[in-house]
Amino acid sequence: MSKPKLIRAFSEDSLESPPVWLMRQAGRYLPEYRALKEKHTFLELCKSAELATEVTLQPLRRFNLDAAIVFADILLPAEAIGFSVDFNPGPKIANPIKDPSDLQRLHQSSFNPAADPTCKTISALRKHFDADSAMADKAVIGFCGSPWTLACYLTDQGPFKHFAATQIFAAKQSKAFVAFIDLLEQCLGDFLLAQIAAGADAVQIFDSWGGLLAAEDYRRFSLPSIQRIVERIKPTGCPVIVYCGGTAHLLNEMKETEADGISLDWKTELSVAEEILGSSMLIQGNLDPAHLFLPQEQLEIEAKLMSQQLKRRNRYIANLGHGILQQTPIESVETFIHAVKSGWQQ
């Protein structure tokens, strides 16, 4: 069977149009998701492979997307090392790390691809696509948070904007903080490998809060753990994409992750990123999610111009610069997907 289009984008010299998916493409902007949320909590949806498969497929039934991202959350693997995780709707950690001594209650984890709910959802999605010739070209994306971004939620109780408690912990107790990052790195690397064993075609590491750090601190607290996770995945041949929020000042560090692809937020010009990242690294992104609220004609022009900024006609995946917003009009998602798919045709 030939590889899904999104996977071919990593290697083929040219594609007729870019593959496209949207960060947070399953979720509250879809009425069918809201209907399921009337009956189930978010955690119930994540932890039932049957329900999570259904939610993951909802956007693919409506839109011409090239990938399904497994319905889960970056906080779920934290349960495996000793955290108590809930959502309301944002993450609520009952036992955050406040002090280096709290680290002692954490433990190593392991993930069984046949038993872990996220892995089971990935296997079900892969089977679903294999069984239906109309879906044969779709990729299944697995994911995790970066150790730094996970540490932000596990050490700070919000508001989730500046993560002052995390930054203070990292500055005052840097040795203990790095030991925590190392534990998370082990857990998240294991988790991605289990997702790949379950059938993920590509994986994405969300370093959503990496941009809070200046380059020097990024090199201490985020980059090394991402590099080591990428290194562990390389032998599988599964492409790894690293998303970093607020990356404009970190493009050199992004290159050093040695990931197969870099997902950029909307504050980074794609043409500038292309100069720094070089032609062999795939680029993903980067429409401002708020621009899905523009008038349709304007959105269409912007979506076409986005991919035309690049010199290349390969190694590009169209996406948003961050997760889709809850109030986004469905019509705008259709306009965006249609426009990016025709962006290379003029």
Residue ranges that bind ligand CP3, judged by CB under 6 A: 23-28, 37, 42, 69, 71, 73-75, 87, 89-91, 143, 160, 206, 208, 245, 323
- Pick between residue 4 and residue 145 the one whose CB is nearest to ligand CP3: 145
- Residue 157 and residue 150 in contact, taking contact as beta carbons nearer than 8 Å: no
**Tokens 């080591």 sit at which residue?**
228
- Residue 43 CA, distance from chain mean position: 18
Smallest distance, ligand CP3 to C-beta of residue 17, A? 22
Smallest distance, ligand CP3 to C-beta of residue 91, A? 5
Positive or negative CA dihedral for 226, 144, 89, 330? positive
> Nearest to ligand CP3 by Cβ — which residue?
208
Pairing of strands 316-320, 261-263: unpaired
Smallest distance, ligand CP3 to C-beta of residue 295, A? 25
- Pick between residue 143 and residue 177 the one whose CB is nearest to ligand CP3: 143
Backbone angles phi, psi at 321, to 5 degrees: -85, -10
- Pick between residue 263 and residue 335 the one whose CB is nearest to ligand CP3: 263
- Pick between residue 208 and residue 286 the one whose CB is nearest to ligand CP3: 208
Smallest distance, ligand CP3 to C-beta of residue 301, A? 26
Of 306, 274, 285, the C-alpha closest to 243 is: 285
In angstroms, the CA 182 to CA 110 distance is: 15
- Pick between residue 32 and residue 173 the one whose CB is nearest to ligand CP3: 32
- Pick between residue 71 and residue 344 the one whose CB is nearest to ligand CP3: 71
In angstroms, the CA 105 to CA 97 distance is: 10
Smallest distance, ligand CP3 to C-beta of residue 156, A? 12
Smallest distance, ligand CP3 to C-beta of residue 323, A? 4
Residue 220: how many other CB atoms lie within 10 Å: 15
In order of 19, 180, 183, 267, 337, the CA distances from 148 in angstroms are 29, 9, 11, 21, 32
